[in-house]
Amino acid sequence: MIAAGGVGSGRAMLAAMALGADGVQIGTRFVASHESSGHRAFKDKIIESVDGDTGLVLKRLLPVRLLKNRFLEQVREVENRCEPRESLEQLLGRGRPKRGMFEGDLDEGELEIGQVSAYIHDIKPAGQIVKDIWKEFNQAIKDMSQLHCQT
């Protein structure tokens, strides 16, 4: 079983595996990598985000978590008015994700990202991210084994 969602660190990876996962899928952390095709403005918005800067919307279509911006507020307004599904589809239109994540329109674009974005503070090479996560994972295992030995 592969755990996905909320995994952006070695500690989170260990927690998922302790709950029975055989592996993890890490998405958000790699968006803020040098190799990511995301626009630099989108990456900068990710590393500037804090707890509470995302919102879960579009539950009637396909639930998605977005960074807060003008587009997210427009979606919430349509949802709060309980407008029909077609209103949401019309608001989405075509190309919203491309506009936000790949072209850098931070106001009107769709900025899909996970809650762990609040814990990302830098843009690194993907290889360094893997090394950092692996190092933290192994350190968390050591820390847990030391706790076990103290009892």
Residue 22 neighbours by CB under 8 Å, 6+ apart: 1, 2
Number of structural domains (the chain) is 2
pTM of the complete model beyond 0.75:
yes
Same domain, 91 and 137: no
Same domain, 92 and 131: no
pLDDT value of residue 151: 55
**Residue-wise pLDDT tens digits, 9-19:** 999 999 999 99
Per-residue pLDDT band for 62 (boundaries 50, 70, 90) equals confident
The percent helix, strand, coil of the chain (3-state, each to 5) is 50, 10, 40
Structure tokens at 100: 């936000």
**Residue-wise pLDDT tens digits, 95-134:** 899 999 999 999 999 999 999 999 999 999 999 999 999 9
Same domain, 89 and 128: no
Please give the angle made by the CA atoms of 24, 26 and 27, to the nearest 5 degrees.
Answer: 145
If residue 136 lies in a helix (H) or strand (E), which one and from where to where? helix 126-149
95 DSSP assignment: S
